[in-house]
Structure 1
Amino acid sequence: MAEAQIVLKGVGKTFVRGLQRTTALAGVDIEIARGAFVAVVGPSGCGKSTLLRLVSGLVMPSEGSVRVAGEPVVGPRADTGIVFQKATLVDWRDILGNVLLQLEMRGIDGPEARERARTLLTAVGLGGFENRYPHELSGGMQQRAAIARGLVHQPGMLLMDEPFGALDALTREQMRLDLEALWLRERMTVFFITHSIDEAVLLADRVIVMSQRPGTVDHVFDVDLPRPRGLAARNDPRFAALTDAITRIFLSRGVLDEQRLAL
């Protein structure tokens, strides 16, 4: 097995607001190899986004430990890229400027930096749109720019919190194909949060299934589908078997109601 990039041991997180305590995660153990693509799927409110924020160093665990590249996470790391559900681009900068902002904040500038930004924009399908402004682009195109921004500083790890959740079905499918191609090229570690069982299986090497709150690891599935996984991947019997197995876990836990699904 490759060297572990992300290791969580006995991780719990409780949020306190006044007298109210909400335990989002409890007893989470996860180990992710360097260069792996791992997806996390689970019901709303199970702590998926909290898990990503713990790995990123944006919040600290209430118990247990989080380590990245062998070091304890004590705050945001320079070797991490993050893509959220909304692109959160800066309105007054063009698309190239938005991508370069990531580098400027790190004190990185020069021809090589600009060339990498342009190369990434081309790789995500935005070649020729460098001088456009966010309001001139569709939601899917804005999210492509956000992915380029998350990768421009060449992070060893990319954290993605439901990055395709607000997109229409066709755009989402194309983004899935493009993200896989980008990962095959860059080979960074990807920690991908999603509500979509199909999306998790189509993208990941491993799928972590979370329980209801307080979230913990319910099951882990290895995905044995050849890459690249094009549009035909859904026709593979292994895809059907895995999505069915995950769906049945949610049915057995009461997360999904089969009678309501049949209506």
Structure 2
Amino acid sequence: MNLPALRLVEQADRPDAGASVVVRELSVAFGANQVLDRLSLSIAPGEFVAIVGRSGCGKSTLLRAIMGLVPAGGGSIEVDRAAARLVFQEPRLLPWATVRDNVAVGAPAGLDRAERDRLIDARLAEVGLADKAEEWPGTLSGGQRQRVALARALISRPRLLALDEPLGALDALTRIEMQALVETVWNSEGFSALLVTHDVAEAVALADRVVVLEAGRVALDLSISLARPRRHGDAELAALEGLILDRLLGH
């Protein structure tokens, strides 16, 4: 089995903006199940791309292959994985550690204590949890736990943030609040974002492009050029959602 060719970017070569991703003819199979079939996709530095599709179409497999968690059977991936971080659907917090200590897990190595504490404080403030630093994960709401996971991913200043259904378990109102937070942080930090979601409305609200996968390939790559911030329920957003849903439902 051939592993994807990987071009690592040296620190000195990194631009100030987000990282680019280039996927060429990527194939991934699990036994006889061909999940990705010669798929090609590119993400520009600082771009926000959402991946949608039916269950089993290869969304999460694509994201995990880009992050190096799934080996490829063919094709190539160009990405700076050292500058990438992944946020899962489950917060995956350490229950025996405080919020502060959970965020510290993501801190870059080699920092002195004062600098690490400054970064932790800054990230917790950024996600609206400055007053929860000494709390235990078990005392937090689902949305607050996901904010901790986001702060943990952001503390290392990633140039690519991959999000694998991170808001899927939240109630509707909390989910909208978290969407706004993700967009705000993305705007301020300038990283590239790759979001896997089942929620077409979420994809259209957040992304510069929405990519629809079918049978392991890109079936639709739709640019979303609407001004930000976007309001759920706006007619233009609804029209784009309808276009994507028609493709997903085969209309």
Q: TM-score, normalised by structure 1?
A: 0.85
User: Retained in 2: the 8 A contact 1:81–1:159?
Assistant: yes
Give the match's secondary structure for 1:128: helix
Give the match's secondary structure for 1:141: helix
Q: How many residues align?
A: 235
Match for 1:127 among 126, 130, 134? 130
Question: After superposition, what is the alpha-carbon deviation per residue over 1:41-75, rounded to whole angstroms, capped at 9, x for unaligned?
Answer: 00001111111111111122111001115xxxxxx
Give the Cα separation in 2 of the matches to 1:119 and 1:137.
Answer: 19
User: Retained in 2: the 8 A contact 1:46–1:210?
Assistant: yes
The residue that corresponds to 1:10 in the other structure is 25
Moved more, 234-243 or 21-30: 234-243
Percent of pairs identical after alignment?
41
Give the Cα separation in 2 of the matches to 1:94 and 1:33.
Answer: 36
Match for 2:171 among 164, 168, 172? 168
Aligned pairs (5 A) from 1:36-115: 36-69=47-80, 77-103=81-107, 106-115=109-118
User: Retained in 1: the 8 A contact 2:19–2:191?
Assistant: no
Alpha-carbon shift at residue 82 of structure 1 (Å): 0.8
Alpha-carbon shift at residue 235 of structure 1 (Å): 4.1
Give the Cα separation in 2 of the matches to 1:108 and 1:165.
Answer: 34
Residue 36 of structure 2 corresponds to residue 35 of structure 1: no
Question: After superposition, what is the alpha-carbon deviation per residue over 1:222-260, rounded to whole angstroms, capped at 9, x for unaligned?
Answer: 11111123xxx234332122101001101217xxxxxxx
Give the Cα separation in 1 of the matches to 2:49 and 2:117.
Answer: 30
Match for 2:249 among 230, 248, 251? 251
The residue that corresponds to 1:154 in the other structure is 157
Give the Cα separation in 2 of the matches to 1:129 and 1:3.
Answer: 29
| Aligned-partner residue type, residue 30 of structure 1 | L
Gaps of 5+ in 2: 1-16
The residue that corresponds to 1:73 in the other structure is none
Alpha-carbon shift at residue 118 of structure 1 (Å): 1.3
CA-based RMSD: 1.6
The residue that corresponds to 2:10 in the other structure is none
Alpha-carbon shift at residue 3 of structure 1 (Å): 8.9
Alpha-carbon shift at residue 107 of structure 1 (Å): 4.0
Question: After superposition, what is the alpha-carbon deviation per residue over 1:54-112, rounded to whole angstroms, capped at 9, x for unaligned?
Answer: 1111122111001115xxxxxxx3211110000000011100100101226x3444322
